[in-house]
Structure 1
């Protein structure tokens, strides 16, 4: 009988595929006890992709199930390989019945709960991978019982910590250990434990909150045979809080076995000379530290035998200064060089003889002396990746540049320079799946032929013209990112999008494109961002667009689209967090289906011809109700080398009306939760339910035909920075609750029929009178019109001042102080968000509110000084 044989690396057993025996020997089927255990394991799990569909009671032989490997002689389950199956739920203790299991791979799922303690009883395990899940709590010390383990991967397992790392010292067979993202903040003797593992070759402790180590070592875990040297070949200690004092304990972890050393993202100010004597070191990543030294001095510390073996050197994001000397290019095996974002200058000429090894060169934000295009680049015959972005080039590209690397370049970034001229034919220059970024330059003219296998193309913010039919040449289905925005392209969007089924970002904004959207736009099933802002597109939105169910940002503003706002936006595009249809020709009512978008945080339907009432169900937009929600940045990566990935973020952005000005918000978009229905023909009252949107920061309903009273509980919307109800027919008084809106820095209630006294608060009196004009029956500050009874109150105030010898009371001083504090905080908060000047990292909201608190303290001090000076001057 014909069989295909597969050799598995962990069990060393021949496993048949497509047959029942090998050489006439019957294959054992799985045991009933173990099949039942697997069914119990499956029962509570979520399996949205149906990866466990073969796990059924009807199929008695579990050895045929997906992800299962059995011993072909005994029938026992030996491997459970379910990496990246998309599963969710808790890990069932039924796995204990798989008593011969030696390989457990559950990486890349959504398993939750604590890490099961019972795994420590599965003593046959040689391979355990729980990485990239959603677990939490303490790593069970029972893992110390897994004395046969050779590979333990807990990388990004969840929010976990180690209370006592001593259990790790019992795993004497361990060769691979990855614990990235697990807190080791309390483990000051972890170096001792690592040195007690004689076979360990790969160690990764990135982002483990490491800061210091007790020195000298405690020796409680060490023995004479293991403490003298280390067998580690790969050492990753990046993204911790390590300082240069670490080098005294790093020394015993390094030896001439070491091939890779990753120290990026710490607080190191240089490297010791002993790192220059690691004769096997091939890769050193020192990026994003705080080294403020001269580049030649840094290089001198690597001048021993390390200089002969080094293939990759990462120094991006430091404070290295000086010039990049020719000595750098003399490293005989150098292939990859990261020098981006330093204070380095690069000579325009080098006298180079042989630097053919260099394949990956990144000089972003270094200063190229010139400003001519560096000709020496063309001596790098083996280049695959080249980054010269933001290097001060002001020139045209030399004619021979595009012919240097035929079908070889994988990544080219020349963005943020002042490069001019036209592009040549690019068909023969780039490799399969390449990335081209020429954005923010002065290129002009039409786009000629482009490669058919592009992964990413960014030509934004140039002076390109002509049509965009060239995109139809990109036919291999690899394209994930296309940005042609801020150019002078004209014509229609061609109907050739059928093969862009991997596209995630399509940005054609700020051009002169026109016509209807083609039906093939519905084939962009992976699309996350569609940005067509400020063109001349017209017609109704194609029904096929409802197939783009991955969309999280849809910006079609400032065009000439017409028809009703489609109901399928709310029914099909459930992941949307940005919906901008402003400044078009949409008519009809606001569809209730938009209330079905729980992630929505920016809704802009302004400047259309919409009529009817404001849907009360807008209170169902839960992301505007709940605190802490934020936008999902669009993530994509590019392949840099066979074993190295650089991760990039496309920060989504939106052009919105903010406090009377058009602003393009990008880095702070995650903080903006906004509804803009202004400049339509809406009627009726503001539904009281809208006051439940507690996390809303901007609400604009101006220039409509709304009437009735302002909701009395509008003061509950304490996060509002902007409230514009101007040019409607609102009546009644301004709700007293509005005095609670301490963050409000833009308010416009002008041209309504409001009446009565403006409530007293730190904010409401800080706005200019024009924000209340056109309301004939409003009175009180900041208006000059006095309310009934103000004359009597004013006389009493004068008498009181006379009795107090003209001095302000303590209460008045406090009122002045808090008045300016409230106004200042509101202004600053709105200013930073509106202008996008607050640069946010991954802890965006934390950084924002830290700024807010510090600004509040600063303003208070300034106000006290101001009021004191004011009193003295009187």
Structure 2
């Protein structure tokens, strides 16, 4: 045996696969067939952890090998289970020797290659599990051509693409199919919907499309169906009500529409129903209360309307209820008090009103989210009313963006399990309760945007698990307590726009996990503790607009701190504020100026020194006179400015920004004064018209106009775009309608529009101010930009893709995607600006438009040059593809060389064809990037820049592809 296997591998394979079938015609099958097959299988893979050490070619039988199970009588291998063995490599043909194999399970390894019918005898298998590997490519159509015995198949969590083979529908014995977390596309083969024995069907997290056919009603044995995160459309057919054994239904994150079919009320065994993020509409029917086995009901992110049906109270087994992000009105039904099993409740982002019911805090709830509604009442009553029976299990409370008033309950300390408390965006008053320090499990507190007063309690240090503390936009006074240094897990401390005084405590230097600090717009004094340079994870530290003084700490983060983060502190010095610190000089020697003794007498002044004293006095007088002249000049200029300002009261620019102008919450339409509208209802600015005229306030210029920075009276900065295409802008009514539409667009990766200003000759759009500068600056401005790691770049690409997908979902085309229109937020997140502006310019055809945004050279889709081709969202996809290549390579879309012009798309495409694509990756990364992510991202960028619009993917597809590219690298160290 050993001598046989000592032959060269090629000879062994020839013997096994060529001679063995011949010998088999005259001899009984040898037990060594299984040994040979498994040894050949082992030879094709890598086993870094030695999990297959027991597999030896010296053995006559493999039945005692790890992962191998044999039939008790025939001693032939019937099961091979190598789950989580850390194996890698390709599956060869060795397993074809296992003639009696019934179960093949190789899950949770890193096996690669494509699937072929030759991996094993599929016709004999009853269970095949290849999940959680790295198989790729399409599954051949004939893979399941002979699968009569197959009962379970799992290919989940691989990289398999293409269509689901139709032959899978011929596997009549199948009871479980799991093809989730791959890249399958197209429609589901009709045969799968006719597999009467199927009990579990999981096709989630793919790119599948089409509708659920009516024949689903024939799946009488179906217990669980998961079609989540695909592209399915249409209505849920009535036939689903015939699947009476259904216990779990997940149709989330698709494009299903219409009403819920009434036949679903028959599904009395259903315990899990997830319809999250679809387009279901209408009212939630009363019959929902008949699904009495429901434990999870998620209807979030749809278009449901009307009131919540009172029959919800019949669902006494319900544990998780999520109706967020719909159009529900009315109040929470009182009958919900009978849902005594509730653990998590989410009704956020609806239009419901009324007071917060007391039963919420008397139930056994662990998570309560009722944000962005119109709930009112006192925040004091819910907790206080439950003191007799405190809700010990409550872990998450989110009542943000409502209309709660009153004080925060002083006995909040009874919520001993509380981890997250969000009361932001209400009208709460009074102090922060000292009992907050008793919440030892608390890791997230957001009390921002209220009217809280008093000081930050010293007891805050008792909440030592705190990771995030947000107190901005309140009326807090007093000092930052030194006890904050006890919160050793703290990563985020935001207390801007308050009235805090005193110094920045040195105890903050103990917070080694600290990443983001914002103490701006307070009255802090003193110098910054030099020990702050020892904070290793600091990403942002904003102390602007205080009264701090002295030298900024030198070293680490503070060597590269943004000037805007320290501005507004006149007495601060250091390189970040472009102000040198005064050197410390020794005290001067003081001599007696009145002495008239002879110069030869020790200790007296000579005549020369006396003369020098007179000269110095004259210099001092001149300095004093000069200062007086300067003061008089300043006063004169101020008077002149006031006169000029008075004479230009009706100038559009002055009306747009002057703090002295009278703007009311209700915008005016007076022809002389123009119309200012702020979506937040805060129209006052702290700077005047000079902000539009002063080059120092200019942030940049683009095809649609120049952008300037100014500051609201509450200290919050905003960016104002002054449109330079006034003669082409729509009428006032149409302009306002379009801007208001754009103002409603909200996404984490989009720059928010906060308001606008209109006169016939001047139009302004007011945006949120993004402090981190443009992506262009970070990529191309050398020392002026910050270095972007691979994770930074990937997150920028993904965030930008999500923002464009969101715009396209709302039928908005960006038209002007480029790196200078992608801004970087304070936490490194991308924010896309300038979206939808072309909607304001109806007179622009594509040629005028392309000239208006000629700065986007290299990003423009080729169809802009063809008058007969329709401009669609695919133009944005093209620009995004160029942006992807720009981010990965660090090169501009078009580079002008001495004798040539290099187009980035062409350069990368050529490098890919020549097999040197890795050379295109930005050299500043210096190999610190995962090639398994970077190269697919570049290939995706090239696909997006296809010359034919129909060959480019949708942005929603792009997001899915990027998330699939990132999945294998989750948990890796940041590069």
The bucket for the TM-score relative to the shorter chain is 0.5 to 0.7
- For residues 244 and 323 of structure 1, the distance between their equivalents in structure 2, rounded to whole angstroms, comes to 22
Question: Larger radius of gyration, structure 1 or 2?
Answer: 2
- Which position in structure 2 is the counterpart of 1:396? 283
Aligned 1:718-797 pairs, distance under 5 A: 718=560, 723-732=564-573, 734=575
- By how many angstroms is 1:215 displaced? 7.5
- For residues 321 and 590 of structure 1, the distance between their equivalents in structure 2, rounded to whole angstroms, comes to 56
Does the 8 Å CA contact 1:480/1:503 hold for their aligned counterparts? Answer: yes
Aligned 1:4-23 pairs, distance under 5 A: none
Is 1:291 aligned with 2:184? yes
- Which position in structure 2 is the counterpart of 1:244? 138
For 2:495, which of 587, 600, 605 is the aligned residue?
A: 605
Aligned 1:846-865 pairs, distance under 5 A: 855-856=886-887, 860-862=891-893, 864-865=895-896
- By how many angstroms is 1:203 displaced? 3.4
- For residues 434 and 817 of structure 1, the distance between their equivalents in structure 2, rounded to whole angstroms, comes to 49
Judged with a 3 Å threshold, the aligned counterparts in structure 2 of structure 1 residues 486 and 170 are, in CA distance, closer, same or farther, namely closer
- Which position in structure 1 is the counterpart of 2:162? 269
Structure 2 portions without partners, runs of 5+: 1-46, 57-63, 72-76, 581-685, 688-698, 701-705, 712-776, 789-819, 833-880, 902-975
Aligned 1:798-837 pairs, distance under 5 A: 819=781, 822-823=784-785, 828=822, 830-831=824-825, 833=827
Q: Between 611-620 and 266-275, report the one with greater CA deviation.
A: 266-275
Deviations 1:55-97, CA, capped at 9 Å, x for gaps: xxxxxxxxxxxxxxxxxxxxxxxxxxxxxxxxxxxxxxxxxxx
Aligned 1:228-627 pairs, distance under 5 A: 233=127, 235=129, 237-238=131-132, 240-245=134-139, 256=149, 258-259=151-152, 261-295=154-188, 298-300=189-191, 303=194, 307-347=195-235, 350=238, 354-370=242-258, 372-378=259-265, 380-398=267-285, 400-405=286-291, 407-426=292-311, 428-449=313-334, 450=336, 451-472=339-360, 475=363, 477=364, 479-493=365-379, 494-495=382-383, 496=386, 499-518=390-409, 521-570=412-461, 572-624=462-514
- For residues 82 and 435 of structure 2, the distance between their equivalents in structure 1, rounded to whole angstroms, comes to 45
Structure 2 counterpart SS, 1:440: coil
Deviations 1:690-734, CA, capped at 9 Å, x for gaps: 23335433221122111123334476554x567422222225453
Structure 2 counterpart SS, 1:276: helix
Structure 1 counterpart SS, 2:110: coil
- By how many angstroms is 1:427 displaced? 5.3
- By how many angstroms is 1:485 displaced? 0.5
- Which position in structure 1 is the counterpart of 2:725? none
Does the 8 Å CA contact 1:373/1:396 hold for their aligned counterparts? Answer: no
Structure 2 counterpart SS, 1:408: coil
Is 1:144 aligned with 2:34? no
Is 1:205 aligned with 2:47? no
- For residues 482 and 261 of structure 2, the distance between their equivalents in structure 1, rounded to whole angstroms, comes to 59
Judged with a 3 Å threshold, the aligned counterparts in structure 2 of structure 1 residues 855 and 500 are, in CA distance, closer, same or farther, namely farther
- By how many angstroms is 1:248 displaced? 7.8
Does the 8 Å CA contact 2:187/2:209 hold for their aligned counterparts? Answer: yes
Aligned 1:627-706 pairs, distance under 5 A: 673-706=515-548
Structure 2 counterpart SS, 1:550: coil
Does the 8 Å CA contact 1:191/1:249 hold for their aligned counterparts? Answer: no
- By how many angstroms is 1:177 displaced? 8.3
- By how many angstroms is 1:216 displaced? 9.1
- By how many angstroms is 1:506 displaced? 1.5
Judged with a 3 Å threshold, the aligned counterparts in structure 2 of structure 1 residues 379 and 621 are, in CA distance, closer, same or farther, namely same
Structure 1 counterpart SS, 2:184: coil
Does the 8 Å CA contact 1:189/1:213 hold for their aligned counterparts? Answer: no
Judged with a 3 Å threshold, the aligned counterparts in structure 2 of structure 1 residues 263 and 534 are, in CA distance, closer, same or farther, namely same
Deviations 1:809-845, CA, capped at 9 Å, x for gaps: xxxxxx999537945978756249576669xxxxxxx
- By how many angstroms is 1:554 displaced? 1.4
Aligned 1:703-722 pairs, distance under 5 A: 703-713=545-555, 717-718=559-560
Does the 8 Å CA contact 1:236/1:262 hold for their aligned counterparts? Answer: yes
- By how many angstroms is 1:411 displaced? 1.9
Judged with a 3 Å threshold, the aligned counterparts in structure 2 of structure 1 residues 473 and 704 are, in CA distance, closer, same or farther, namely closer
Please identify which structure carries the higher helix content.
2
Does the 8 Å CA contact 2:112/2:133 hold for their aligned counterparts? Answer: no
- By how many angstroms is 1:410 displaced? 1.9
Does the 8 Å CA contact 2:323/2:348 hold for their aligned counterparts? Answer: yes
- Which position in structure 1 is the counterpart of 2:86? 183
Compute the TM-score of the two structures, normalised by the length of structure 1: 0.56
Please identify which structure carries the higher strand content.
1
- For residues 577 and 405 of structure 2, the distance between their equivalents in structure 1, rounded to whole angstroms, comes to 49
Judged with a 3 Å threshold, the aligned counterparts in structure 2 of structure 1 residues 167 and 693 are, in CA distance, closer, same or farther, namely farther
Q: Between 822-831 and 234-243, report the one with greater CA deviation.
A: 822-831
Judged with a 3 Å threshold, the aligned counterparts in structure 2 of structure 1 residues 268 and 816 are, in CA distance, closer, same or farther, namely closer
- For residues 362 and 768 of structure 1, the distance between their equivalents in structure 2, rounded to whole angstroms, comes to 46
Judged with a 3 Å threshold, the aligned counterparts in structure 2 of structure 1 residues 248 and 551 are, in CA distance, closer, same or farther, namely farther
Structure 1 portions without partners, runs of 5+: 1-136, 147-165, 220-226, 625-672, 740-749, 752-762, 773-814, 839-849
Judged with a 3 Å threshold, the aligned counterparts in structure 2 of structure 1 residues 729 and 474 are, in CA distance, closer, same or farther, namely same
Judged with a 3 Å threshold, the aligned counterparts in structure 2 of structure 1 residues 833 and 610 are, in CA distance, closer, same or farther, namely closer
- By how many angstroms is 1:435 displaced? 1.4
- For residues 677 and 832 of structure 1, the distance between their equivalents in structure 2, rounded to whole angstroms, comes to 14
Judged with a 3 Å threshold, the aligned counterparts in structure 2 of structure 1 residues 427 and 442 are, in CA distance, closer, same or farther, namely closer
- For residues 262 and 516 of structure 1, the distance between their equivalents in structure 2, rounded to whole angstroms, comes to 55
- For residues 559 and 81 of structure 2, the distance between their equivalents in structure 1, rounded to whole angstroms, comes to 46
Structure 2 counterpart SS, 1:401: helix
Structure 2 counterpart SS, 1:595: helix
Does the 8 Å CA contact 1:715/1:738 hold for their aligned counterparts? Answer: no
- For residues 49 and 186 of structure 2, the distance between their equivalents in structure 1, rounded to whole angstroms, comes to 40
- By how many angstroms is 1:314 displaced? 1.2
Does the 8 Å CA contact 1:715/1:737 hold for their aligned counterparts? Answer: no
Does the 8 Å CA contact 2:780/2:890 hold for their aligned counterparts? Answer: no
- For residues 248 and 119 of structure 2, the distance between their equivalents in structure 1, rounded to whole angstroms, comes to 43
Structure 2 counterpart SS, 1:320: strand
Judged with a 3 Å threshold, the aligned counterparts in structure 2 of structure 1 residues 282 and 817 are, in CA distance, closer, same or farther, namely closer
- By how many angstroms is 1:145 displaced? 8.9
Does the 8 Å CA contact 1:559/1:583 hold for their aligned counterparts? Answer: yes
Judged with a 3 Å threshold, the aligned counterparts in structure 2 of structure 1 residues 282 and 613 are, in CA distance, closer, same or farther, namely same
Judged with a 3 Å threshold, the aligned counterparts in structure 2 of structure 1 residues 686 and 412 are, in CA distance, closer, same or farther, namely same
Judged with a 3 Å threshold, the aligned counterparts in structure 2 of structure 1 residues 854 and 322 are, in CA distance, closer, same or farther, namely closer
Judged with a 3 Å threshold, the aligned counterparts in structure 2 of structure 1 residues 769 and 473 are, in CA distance, closer, same or farther, namely closer
